[in-house]
Amino acid sequence: MTTVANHSHIQHIRQAMPAATSRIYLNNGTFGPMPTGVVEEMQARLQYELQHGRLGTAAFEMMKSIYGEARSHVAHLLNADVQEIALTDNTGEGMNIVSYGLNWRAGDEVVTTNHEHISALAPLYQLRDRYGIVLRVADLGPNAEQPVLAAIQALITARTRMIVLSHVTWTNGVVLDVAAVTRLGREHGIPVLVDGAQSASDIPIDVKALDVDFYAIPMQKWLCGPDGTGALYVNRNAQHYITSTYVGYWSIKHEEGVEWALEEYAQRFELGGRQTAALAGQAKVLAWMKEEVGYTWLFERIKTLSAYAHNELKRIPKLEMLTPQAGTSGLIGFRLDGFDVAEVVQRLHDTHNIYIRNIPSTSSLRVSTGFYNTEAEIDTLIQALRTL
């Protein structure tokens, strides 16, 4: 795109996202601003249910169609087959489905890293307490600057049953070499579960190229979708590693003469009915990103803004940059020497109408550059931080 066309495209996007223009919205890694069309789609679905009810063949077929459309759009985003997509409420549900899907025995081991979010760690802690599994934590260094392959490989033993890691670290936006880890897993017959909470629509994802086994994503962060929506990718060649822990209507086949049989592929990991209006919103935002925003443009835009913000932040006195390399993802972590990070977040909000977040576990600050942000907003953030 030319500079003029690029500016016009950004303005068109921003007009569709009121929350992104009523403030300087730099916290996409927590919640992304929803486009107007997504809310309208959800309202239309609820209005239909109000006026026509939810009973009857036509209503049920419409609901099935919405479920199917949501799965199809997620499959396109991840370059997966639609049969490999299960709908979930969030990343954590996907992580739990896989973590609890293995038949654990006391002494079995899981290798993870020291840069994982509680959504990935919580089910592992629970499995440790319930079944006596052993967690082995690969040290990637304080800023995830150490090669992940070597760190994980050093911890593999004959008892290793699973590897769990993020694609993008939630604290400082480092992109971990998932493809190398999945190759390692293949060599040892160990499935790899990836937390995609900070990668889905932040960086390009091709689950086929990564050759990953399981990949869990949310919708409410970089994908700017409704709460309570997400998805789990289950590689059909890795499905044998896990079984369904919870089952319900959507998990099973509905065929005449069949009393009990699970769906063949990933849908077997879905439980019961979900909020259909939210799924309509999920499908809508993914279609909007694909057709109106453009994924290729979106990823390049996030990368460009992140690199710009990284370079400008480094110029601020007393700022310690925690993200080793500029422009690898839309997340940037840093510290301000001598400042309480929670107070900085509050002052930016109250005084400058700027939204970022702090990470209590690392006493740091985090900026998420969305595709809808502008260089001028980054400049405003920089100036506001300088005034501190």
Query: What are the residues whose beta carbons fall under 8 Å from the beta carbon of 288, sequence distance 6 or more?
Result: 16, 35, 37, 38
Convert the pLDDT of each residue in 129-173 to its tens digit: 999 999 999 999 999 999 999 999 999 999 999 999 999 999 999
- Confidence (pLDDT) at 115: 97
Is this structure's pTM higher than 0.95?
Answer: yes
Q: Which fold has domain 3-35+293-387?
A: Aspartate Aminotransferase, domain 1 (3.90.1150)
Helices (H), 165-235: 178-188, 207-210
* Beta carbons of 275 and 94 less than 8 angstroms apart: no
Convert the pLDDT of each residue in 235-265 to its tens digit: 999 999 999 999 999 999 999 899 999 999 9
Q: How far apart are CA 213 and CA 270, in angstroms?
A: 17
CATH number of the structural domain 45-290: 3.40.640.10
The residue extents of the domains of the chain are 3-35+293-387, 45-290
369: Cα separation from own chain's centroid: 15
Q: Which amino acid is at 65?
A: S
Confidence label for 1 from pLDDT (cuts 50, 70 and 90): very low
3-35+293-387 and 45-290, same CATH topology: no
* Beta carbons of 339 and 388 less than 8 angstroms apart: yes
- Confidence (pLDDT) at 388: 85
- Confidence (pLDDT) at 2: 53
